[in-house]
Amino acid sequence: GAGVSQTPSNKVTEKGKYVELRCDPISGHTALYWYRQSLGQGPEFLIYFQGTGAADDSGLPNDRFFAVRPEGSVSTLKIQRTERGDSAVYLCASSLGGRATDTQYFGPGTRLTVL
C-alpha cells in the first residue's frame, strides 16, 4: 500500500520568503507528526496532530512555524520569513492511533535550503 508521501522533495528558497511543505499520511492513520532533522543529527519533534487538531505544538521553534491538518488527513507545515537556520530535512510521520506502542511510518522528507 501507499506509504507517507511528502512534497516537494527539495525546496530552495531565499531568506525572508514563505514556504509550505505538504504531507500525505497513510490512509486511516489518525496521528500525524512533523519532525526536523539537521545534518548529522536525529530527527527532532515539531508538532503532533490527532485528527484535525494540533494536540502538541511544543516543538515548534518559534511563531514563524505553523501547521494545519484541516480535514484530518493531509497536513501542511508553513514557515514564514525563512531564515538560513531553518535549512534542514523536514520529516512527516503517521501512526494508526497515536499510542505509545504504535509504529510511526516516515515519509521521505522535504529538504529545505534557505539561501
Q: Which residues bind other proteins (CB under 8 A)?
A: 31, 33, 35, 40-45, 48, 55-56, 58-59, 91, 93, 95, 98-109
- CB of 67 vs other proteins, minimal distance in Å: 14
Site of grid cell 496532530? 49
The DSSP result for 55-78, as a single string, is EE-TT--STTEEEE-TTSS-EEEE
- CB of 45 vs other proteins, minimal distance in Å: 4
Decide whether 2 or 100 has the Cβ nearer to other proteins: 100
Decide whether 52 or 80 has the Cβ nearer to other proteins: 52
Terminal CA-to-CA distance of the chain, rounded, Å?
Answer: 37
In this structure, what are the phi and psi dihedrals at residue 110, rounded to the nearest 5 degrees? -115, 120
